[in-house]
Structure 1
Amino acid sequence: MGIATADLYDERGDDLASIPTQFLDLGGRLAFDGLVRTIRCHRDNGLVKQVLGTAGHGAVLVVDGGGSLESALMGDLIAASAVEHGWAGVVIVGAVRDRVALAALPLGVKALGSNPRKSAKDAVGEVDVPVVIGGVVVRPGAHLWADADGVLVER
């Protein structure tokens, strides 16, 4: 990512939405960007594992976990698979686990927090549907930029 989100917003503010949710930076890459894929799920990371196990081509997976911090939607094994498959990053409205290992991976990871408890693995949820985060609609195929200042997405 060659430009800071603050500068990008100054240049293209009308075309971009700034997600107001305050995420923690938990991956080894603080700045990342790419085309969006989405998942909506609740305390079940089966779809997260499936999608991040496919070719990412530099995309960013946005996971609407409903803000639940009761169990982790991604850990080190799934994140390592994302790196192996060419994903730029993951934004999770929920929890992750294995924070130390995530910080060592060349993957952007933003999440609300962490919890060592693993989630269900039934693959219940929806893939590539619009999700709403902090009042901002995030659509599959939109471009997303993230860095230490926050997250921007094309309107």
Structure 2
Amino acid sequence: MSFATCDLCDAHEDKLISGEMAALPPIFRQFGGVEKFSGPATTLKVFEDNGMVRAVLETSGNGHVLVIDGGGSLRCALVGGNLAVLAEKNGWSGIVVHGCIRDIEEINDCHIGVRALATMPVKSIKRGGGERDLIISIANVRIAPGDWVYADADGVVVAKTALHQS
């Protein structure tokens, strides 16, 4: 993958100023077997319930990044090893969780990039509640379905359109 989030920010400073692009605050930890990933966003809003997360990851990802607004909850995990395997198998580029994950050894063995706030061994409920493909806000950064997400060791950048380094 030929991008660096630092270079994207430098090359598209005008988009940062206009709000067409933003960097998520440095609150996310890096997991998974892929350090760098990008793709259009598929958004979810759930709270301590990962039934819808599973349902989405069971579908073809087509190189998308699943961005989960979990409300920043630190009480339970929204993604675990089984879901990371599903994501890898179904062609998702990566997962960004505004919440927790678990089964870190399994996730790190998967060829997928994951960003999350923290780890938590407690599993979530599975009622299937939540909403898909809506505009969400994570740490005051607006993310709409189809926005482009770029993640590497330096951070996570979200842009309204695909970016190219100059």
TM-score by length of structure 2 reads 0.91
Asked if the contact 1:22/1:150 (under 8 Å) is kept, the reply is: no
CA distance in 2, matches of 1:86, 1:6: 26
Root mean square deviation, CA, Å: 0.9
How much has 1:14 moved relative to structure 2?
2.6
CA distance in 1, matches of 2:127, 2:95: 20
Quote the residue 2:6 is aligned against: 6
Asked if the contact 1:27/1:108 (under 8 Å) is kept, the reply is: yes
TM-score by length of structure 1 reads 0.97
Q: Is residue 2:97 matched to residue 1:92?
A: yes
Partner residue of 1:56 out of 56, 61, 71 = 61
Computing the radius of gyration from Cα coordinates, the structure with the larger value is: 2
SS of the equivalent of 2:44 reads strand
CA distance in 2, matches of 1:94, 1:9: 25
Stretches of 4+ moved more than 4 A in 1? none
Unaligned runs of 5+ in 2: 16-20, 161-166
Deviations 1:25-68 (A, max 9, x none): 01111110000001000000001000011000000000000000
Deviations 1:95-133 (A, max 9, x none): 000011111111000000011111011110100111101
Q: Is residue 2:85 matched to residue 1:80?
A: yes
SS of the equivalent of 1:39 reads strand
CA distance in 1, matches of 2:97, 2:14: 25
Bigger drift between 21-30 and 86-95 goes to 21-30
CA distance in 2, matches of 1:3, 1:129: 27
SS of the equivalent of 1:152 reads strand
Q: What is the aligned length? A: 155
